[in-house]
Amino acid sequence: MTVPRKSDLFQEDLYPSTAGPDAALTAEEWLGGRDAGPLLISLKDGYVPPKSRELRVNRGLDTGRRRTAPETSGTPSSDVVSRLEEEMKKLQATVQELQKRLDRLEETVQAK
């Protein structure tokens, strides 16, 4: 036999509290070794999303990971320039070869 629930006083067992969208701990607290259960919210009246969330960025942890760039005089050395020129010539030759191949393929397609 099922008894209908006519009173709102007994609705909490139908809608148990559930984990909400807010974190119980901050990242720093969790990394520090603290542990906590989720913050529970009641869904009795339906889910109501939070108005807005504040984003906090802590740059203190990233400072050790950054690499310092070597000091440059502003002008590249001659060996770097010659290497880049050589690479550019190779790339231009490759582009010309590919263009010739493309032209041959287009002629083949048009001939059919």
DSSP string, 20-88: -SS-SS-HHHHHTT---PPPEE--TT-----S-------GGGTTTTPPPPPP--SS--HHHHHHHHHHH
Averaged confidence pLDDT in the chain: 81
Overall pTM surpassing 0.85 (yes/no): no
What mean pLDDT is predicted for residues 68-80? Answer: 73
Split at pLDDT 50, 70, 90, the class of 86 is very high
Mean pLDDT of 63-74: 62
Residue ranges covered by each domain of the chain: 12-49, 77-112
Q: What is the pLDDT of residues 18-46, one digit of tens each?
A: 888 888 898 899 999 999 999 888 877 76
State the average pLDDT over residues 41-60. Answer: 72
